[in-house]
């Protein structure tokens, strides 16, 4: 039976690739990657470097699947849905073309496949339309969230308190949750925490985690926000884009 592997690869440093991921890499006949345009060529280069380092077969290569245009006028969820469907169609075609019967296709997924990544959704959708649908297997990877915590040498949660993992968009719309809840913010192009000054929050921020230009800043949000804005702008200028993640926390109120 044909298989499709979603292999978490960490966020840039090939040393984040686990032994299980290496085994999976060496089981694959073809690697697919969704092409996200020139400005993200770096992300394809990282995957190629991982294959160069770990794939023992030298006849495998990365097959780029085109990036269908995203409907920007549609409502957010409808736009995402149409975009996933267009990608699913392209993937189905590529899978039929490049993966032999009883063969194995694979995606090298940034960080961990379970965290804000659409690969599983798109693959599931692509397979739904196939008669001979391959089986999906997932290899967990090291997420930017774990790297953020490790680099800052912090636990993600306050003692006995929950962790909320969310997006910049949600943080802007909903503000901070109850005291004690630690909030991990991803996918935040606009640095939504800038709207949360004056609340006594602490921030642990990390950008380009795992890469050669990794940046870390921590402290009282009101004090360090200027440094974060500046560091972010520098990285954006250098790469044309920036990936950052941060943890926000307001100390828990004493329990009575």
Ligand X SMILES: C[S@@+](CC[C@H](N)C(=O)[O-])C[C@H]1O[C@@H](n2cnc3c(N)ncnc32)[C@H](O)[C@@H]1O
Nearer to ligand X, 111 or 134 (CB): 111
Distance (Å, rounded) from C-alpha 104 to C-alpha 122? 17
- The least CB distance from residue 100 to ligand X, in Å, is 29
CB of 203 within 8 A of CB of 6? no
Among the listed residues 13, 104, 143, 217, the single contact to ligand X using CB under 6 A: 143
- Single residue of 88, 244, 249, 250 touching ligand X by CB under 6 A: 244
Residue 10 CB, shortest distance to ligand X, in Å, is: 8
Least distance from ligand X to the Cβ atom of residue 193, Å: 12
Tell me the window of 97-105, 128-136, 194-202, 243-251 that interacts with ligand X (CB under 6 A).
243-251
- Binding of ligand X by 13 (CB under 6 A): no
Number of residues lying near ligand X (CB under 6 A): 21
Contact window for ligand X (CB under 6 A) among 19-27, 35-43, 108-116, 149-157 = 108-116
| Residue 60 near residue 122 (C-beta atoms within 8 A) | no
Interacting residue ranges for ligand X, rule: CB under 6 A: 11-12, 110-112, 115-117, 143-144, 186-187, 206-211, 243-245
């Amino acid at each position: 039976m044909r298989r499709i592997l979603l292999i978490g690869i960490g966020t840039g440093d090939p040393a984040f690739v686990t032994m299980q991921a290496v085994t999976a890499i060496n089981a694959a006949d073809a690697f697919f990657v969704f092409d996200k345009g020139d400005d993200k060529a770096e992300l394809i280069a990282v995957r190629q470097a991982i294959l160069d380092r770990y794939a023992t077969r030298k006849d495998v290569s990365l097959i780029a699947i085109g990036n269908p245009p995203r409907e920007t006028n549609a409502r957010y969820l409808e736009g995402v849905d149409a975009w996933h469907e267009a990608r699913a169609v392209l993937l189905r075609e590529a899978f039929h073309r490049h993966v032999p019967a009883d063969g194995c296709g694979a995606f090298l997924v940034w960080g961990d496949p379970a965290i804000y990544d659409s690969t599983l959704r798109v693959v599931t959708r692509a397979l739904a339309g196939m008669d001979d649908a391959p089986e999906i297997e997932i290899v967990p990877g090291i997420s930017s969230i774990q790297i953020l915590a490790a680099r800052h040498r912090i636990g993600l949660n306050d003692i006995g308190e929950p962790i909320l993992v969310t997006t910049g968009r949600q943080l802007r719309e909903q503000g901070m949750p109850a005291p004690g809840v630690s909030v991990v913010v991803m996918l935040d192009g606009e640095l939504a925490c800038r709207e949360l000054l004056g609340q006594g929050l602490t921030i642990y921020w990390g950008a380009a985690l795992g890469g050669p230009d990794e940046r870390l800043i921590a402290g009282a949000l009101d004090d360090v926000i200027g440094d974060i804005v500046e560091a972010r702008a520098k990285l954006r200028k250098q790469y044309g884009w920036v990936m950052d993640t941060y943890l926000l926390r307001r100390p828990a109120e004493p329990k009575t």
